[in-house]
Amino acid sequence: MTLLALAVSGRGVVDPDEPAVFADDEGFLRGRAAFETTRVYGGKPFRLDEHLERFANSAARLNLPPLDRPLFHGLTAQALAAAGRPDCFVRLYLTPGREGRDRPVSLVLVESLPPELEETRARGIRVISLPLGLEPSLLGGVKSTSYALNMVAVDEAKRRGCDDAVFLGPQGVVMEGPTTNIWWRSGNVLYTPALELGILQGVTRGALIELAVDRGYEVEVGVYPLTALAEAEEAFTSSAVREVMPVVALDGKPIGDGAPGQAARELQEELRRCASSS
């Protein structure tokens, strides 16, 4: 991934290779900042208003100043125009700014897509389960920049020869991935964990719930043990950048026949179709 363009509140488009935040920005010092990641298809961010809604909620839960949605619309358009890349993704950040100065900073970063995505989708990913055992916290479901645990979880998966992780909550229930929501299929039913567990309300998850029903699947949202995922016929993750990513193994054992599954393939197609027609 490469940073292609950057737009900053009060400055507009700036050189992405020059610093844009101060050393005493609270987002850096304390990890108190909200962010969003949105896939851009044909120059248009997918479901940007839903991302801005979640962004506004994250900002409120982090006690940041209210989100200025028109500002983010403007910065996103400017940054995308500067990048000139129709297929890419944007990351939106709101930080409280420098400590004690009451001047929030809004940033929009345009980035290139990871080059290996389609190759990874074709082979499917291997995941490990990581018990966190944490009860939903004050910041459950908030997309804040305090993502060190999530990033270290991916590192741990790689250290064990896998691609990604799945977090387990109290009593070992399945939660979500470090940057994804998790799904699996048994027969015609697709399962995904409930938001009440304190997981992130994925915009892609929301889109897939609609698309899966249109495609003739039943969708069940609930609280499930790890065995439900382990014994499924297929599994996949969902996220804005990686879209629908088949999961072919869990903790060293194949899921289903150990190959990317039919629902993952169909929903990936549906998601692309939906994104290109919206």
Ligand X SMILES: Cc1ncc(COP(=O)(O)O)c(C=O)c1O
- Does 111 interact with ligand X (rule: CB under 6 A)? no
3-class SS at 218?
A: strand
- Does 204 interact with ligand X (rule: CB under 6 A)? yes
Specify the residue for token string 């995904």. Answer: 192
Instruction: From 83-91, 93-101, 154-162, 177-185, give the range in contact with ligand X by CB under 6 A.
Output: 177-185
Cβ distance to ligand X smaller for residue 12 or 133: 133
- Give min distance, CB of 182 to ligand X, in A: 9
Q: Which of residues 25-54 bind ligand X (CB under 6 A)?
A: 37
Q: Which helix (H) or strand (E) holds 244?
A: strand 243-250
CA pair distance 199, 91, nearest whole angstrom: 20
* Helix count and strand count (H, E) for the chain: 8, 14
Cβ distance to ligand X smaller for residue 162 or 208: 208
- Give min distance, CB of 36 to ligand X, in A: 8
The answer to whether 246 and 122 have CB atoms below 8 angstroms apart is no
Using the rule CB under 6 A, which residue among 239, 248, 250, 270 binds ligand X? 239
The answer to whether 88 and 4 have CB atoms below 8 angstroms apart is yes
- Does 211 interact with ligand X (rule: CB under 6 A)? no
The answer to whether 74 and 63 have CB atoms below 8 angstroms apart is no
Phi, psi of 23 (to 5 degrees): -65, -25
Using the rule CB under 6 A, which residue among 88, 205, 217, 260 binds ligand X? 205
Instruction: From 152-160, 178-186, 210-218, 251-259, give the range in contact with ligand X by CB under 6 A.
Output: 178-186
Residues that bind ligand X (CB under 6 A): 37, 176, 179-181, 200, 202-205, 238-240
